[in-house]
Amino acid sequence: MTSEKGPSTGDATLRRRIKPWEFETFFDPRELRKETCLLYEIKWGTSHKIWRNTGLNTTKHVEINFIEKFTSERNFSSSVSCCITWFLSWSPCWECCKAIKEFLSQHSNVTLVMYVARIFHHMDPQNRQELRDLVITSGVTVQIMRGPEYDHCWRNFVNYPPGEEAHWPRYPPLWMKLYALELHCIILSLPPCLKISRRYQHQQTLFSLKFQNCHFQMIPPYILLATEMIQPSVTWR
Ligand SMILES: [Zn+2]
């Protein structure tokens, strides 16, 4: 019976929806899965219609697949403004950042907003540099996925079980705050302060924070305090 179903029977969006376990593991900020999952939305001009689809890495990274598919569409119009929103399990690697930059420089009608669950190899200087460039030079909005984005993706991209529309996965908010903090470091050209390691035997992802003076000087106190790893009594500057 239709009323007992999730978004499923007769729903034209079912074909592109991913399974709940896929969403839960791909987008878990503590999981360090190798593959990248992309959920995306495209909106043209003043139209209220939103095109949604999903993608995974193939022989190419998912970001490259998106760009190739998007630019090969026959009805692509460069005179109408286009808003693209990505929900990515990993932020783009430096090579994809370069490709995105190139794509945006050739399509001035396109704006790109990106929500990421984790930052890809965030200690790698090249990844940091190109991600920063994407934000500073190309004007891409990059943010860490939080509750509202998980909720939105669950409802619009996941074939959730019957009656579980509101049961999007709740991850420890600390992880989102840690990644948001590190993203700030990247954008502000600061050295990494977050270190992540994985204990495969115990299936545990661990982190440590190491601040330098420059972090206290440059990162807004509310971001540091939000991690709850810092005492408010610290003198900032
Ligand atoms: Zn890549």
Cα of 120 from ligand 1 centre, angstroms: 9
Cα of 172 from ligand 1 centre, angstroms: 27
Q: Which band of pLDDT confidence, cut at 50, 70 and 90, is reported for residue 67?
A: very high
Q: Give me the mean pLDDT over the 173-198 stretch.
A: 92
Query: Which is more confident, 7 or 208?
Result: 208
Q: Which of 171, 191, 214 is the last residue of a domain?
A: 171
Does residue 58 share a domain with residue 4?
yes
CATH code for position 75: 3.40.140.10
Query: Which is more confident, 198 or 2?
Result: 198
Does residue 214 share a domain with residue 152?
no
DSSP the chain: -GGGSSS-TT-TTGGGPBPHHHHHHHT-TT---SS-EEEEEEEETT---EEEEEEE-SSS-HHHHHHHHHHH-TT--SSS-EEEEEEEEEPPPHHHHHHHHHHHHH-TTEEEEEEEEE-TTTT-HHHHHHHHHHHHTT--EEEE--HHHHHHHHHHHB-PPTT-TT------HHHHHHHHHHHHHHHTTPPP-EEEEEETTTTEEEEEE---HHHHHHS-HHHHHHTT-S-TTS---
Q: What is the pTM of this model?
A: 0.89
Cα of 56 from ligand 1 centre, angstroms: 11
Does residue 148 share a domain with residue 49?
yes
Nearest alpha-carbon partner for 163 in 5, 40, 45, 42: 5
Q: Give me the mean pLDDT over the 91-99 stretch.
A: 98
pLDDT value at 75 more than 90: no
pLDDT value at 133 more than 80: yes
Cα of 8 from ligand 1 centre, angstroms: 32
**Which tokens hold the place of 117?**
């669950």
pLDDT value at 10 more than 60: no
Does residue 138 share a domain with residue 67?
yes
Does residue 132 share a domain with residue 100?
yes
Q: Give me the mean pLDDT over the 90-107 stretch.
A: 97
Q: Which residues surround ligand 1, an ion (CB under 5 A)?
A: 61, 93, 96
Does residue 126 share a domain with residue 167?
yes
Q: Is 149 a catalytic residue?
A: no
Cα of 94 from ligand 1 centre, angstroms: 7
Does residue 96 share a domain with residue 193?
no
Does residue 19 share a domain with residue 110?
yes
Does residue 178 share a domain with residue 148?
no
Q: Which of 150, 171, 192 is the last residue of a domain?
A: 171
Catalytic residue, candidates 63, 130, 149, 182? 63
pLDDT at 8: 55
For residue 124, give its domain range.
1-171
